[in-house]
Amino acid sequence: MTGTRELEEPEHHRVDELLLDEITDQLDRTRRLLMGNPEAAAEAALARAGRHREAELRIARELALTEPLAEPERFPEAHRLVVRALEVLDREGSRDPAAPAVGPLGHVLALGIHLVADYIVKSYARDIVTKLQRLYARREAQCPPERPERRYLARARMEMDRLAPGFAGGGMAAPLLVGAGAALPLLASVTDYLGAIDLRNPYVGWAGLIGLFLVFLALSTLLLRGAAVAHRRSRLIMEQPLAALWQTVGAAGDPPKDRSVTIATIAVALTALGWVVLPVGAVLVLVFD
């Protein structure tokens, strides 16, 4: 029996070693297939695994690509281009936005649009810097110490660490505007409850409804125009530099996106709310009149 156990123990060690070898062989086979014909690689993976899930194929592909940088020689240039684009975005992303020509009120609208665009642009720049800090640090850890790519990544990561505090700030105009618009109905209810304003008075009710509608309209206009300015300039300044950098890094997912779609969605919701609140409020005023 003792002799049998002595014969079985090396077999267990051999199984452990073969498991690691099997994983390495699988990654090598996937890498060779991807370097040849990606469509054939996808079909082979589907036929072998019997699963039709795009996410799992994407995961397998990213695991097979073990190089820390897809194009090491072009990475420093692409990194510098993104840093330059970040500087331009920070300076020009929300500057001098166009505003409706409504006389002296146009200057107030331009300021509001600028504040909304500035919030989106600053948040976008901060998200890019944070994403690059994490990406560079992770790729640096994957790179063997003797490879030149490690020096490229270490230098780029240290540069982003130095730049990060300068992009840490961000305007609060858009959240404050949305919060103020949402708080107005609540404020009206509180003042009515305390007796400061009698919302059951038809004149007060109509004035409140019209005022509320105008506030929602103004807020939605500021948010929508500010989001449009920020989105257009963010794409103009950052889209191509980020795409070039992501190409040199390789298998890094998608570059960060700005928050203009979220702000625009809130603007549309405020517009819809204004059109809903006014008719419902008008009916209530007529009922209590």
Predicted confidence pLDDT, tens digits, the chain (289 residues): 444 444 444 444 444 456 666 666 666 766 666 666 666 655 665 565 554 567 777 777 777 778 899 999 999 999 999 999 999 999 999 998 987 777 777 788 888 889 899 999 999 999 999 999 999 999 999 999 999 999 999 999 999 999 999 998 666 555 665 555 555 454 444 444 334 455 555 566 566 667 777 777 788 888 889 999 999 999 999 999 999 999 999 989 899 999 999 888 888 877 777 677 666 655 655 565 5
Task: Give yes or no: residues 119 and 179 share one domain.
Answer: yes
What per-residue confidence (pLDDT) applies to 207? 67
Residue 113 sits in the same domain as residue 24: no
Last residue in a domain, options 33, 64, 95 = 64
Sequence-distant (≥ 6) Cβ neighbours of residue 227 within 8 angstroms = 116, 117, 120, 260, 261, 263, 264, 267
Q: Are 196 and 239 in the same domain?
A: yes
Are 210 and 254 part of one and the same domain? yes
Do residue 282 and residue 228 come from a single domain? yes
Q: Of 284, 273, 247, 245, which Cα lies nearest the Cα of 80?
A: 245
Shared domain for 39 and 91, answered yes or no, is no
- Whole domain around residue 33: which residue ranges? 2-64
Which of 36, 64, 92 marks a domain boundary?
64
Q: Which of 38, 64, 90 is the last residue of a domain?
A: 64
| Same domain, residue pair 51 and 173 | no
Verify that 16 and 96 share a domain, yes or no. no
* Total structural domains within the chain: 2
pTM above 0.75, yes or no: no
